[in-house]
Amino acid sequence: MLSGKRHRKAPIAMSGEAGRMDGCVFLAGHTVLAMTGVESDLTSFAGTWDSLPPDPYVEADTPYRFRRHGRLLIDGAGDVSVLPTGDYLQDPAHNPLFGGLSRRFAPVVWDDTGTRVLGALARTGVTRVLGLPGPVLINVHQIRILGGAGHAGTPVPEGRHRDGFDFISIHLIERDVDGGGVTTVVADADGSSTVMTLTEPLDSLFLDDRAYVHDTSPIEGDDRTVRRDVLLMSFERVDD
């Protein structure tokens, strides 16, 4: 039975097919497409970002963050199950802006295309990139950020942070900006940083959330509305 209890006995290195890179792995979009086999569904899946409702927890005169949330479970055999939508809770130590607040977002729409794409991305992350033994609980977040003249499009209103799980992944869906949207990853061990910009569909970043903090700069628009659509996943080992 899924208990939701954190399983912290032994850290798991990134030991899957992507190779171990000290807990920080970038995969180009074409590589992720080849690993997941979702290319034929990607355009339709990306279109679902057009129906994301505003994030009710971000206060702004002009809504700029839109979001849906869902949950998956991958068992020890690699089988994927869709779980009922639940509250999303982070520790205040990890998220200084929203930590301690049980947030309930609009649910992911689990149509055939979304189920195939999200299941394939989750399974690939667990079995081929992270090499995690199941069961693994995965939180899925569809997020759109809008920016433009007169208002900032801030992907991470809480600033540099960690999410409070074992691993996370960031997958670019679409990007139409004039600047910004640059992700910075900082290692706890020595303070070294890596800076990257996800530019192509399904460019993906996998992180050991226990060893790194991350942030993404505001997106910039020159007298026009710009957007950045991403899929975020968190991976958490749980007890059977």
Q: Which residues pair with 153 in a beta bridge?
A: 219
Question: What integer is the mean pLDDT of 47-64?
Answer: 87
Reported confidence tier of residue 20, pLDDT bands at 50, 70, 90 = very low
pLDDT at 19 > cutoff 70:
no
Reported confidence tier of residue 11, pLDDT bands at 50, 70, 90 = very low
3-state DSSP assignment of residue 106: coil
Spatial distance between the Cα atoms of 88 and 69, rounded to a whole number of angstroms: 8
Question: What integer is the mean pLDDT of 158-175?
Answer: 90
Sign of CA dihedral 48, 102, 151, 181: negative
Q: How far apart are the first and last CA of the chain?
A: 5
Q: How far is CA 16 from CA 6, 20, 127, in A?
A: 22, 8, 7
3-state DSSP assignment of residue 151: strand
Q: Is 97 exposed, middle or buried (0-12, 13-18, 19+ CB in 10 A)?
A: middle
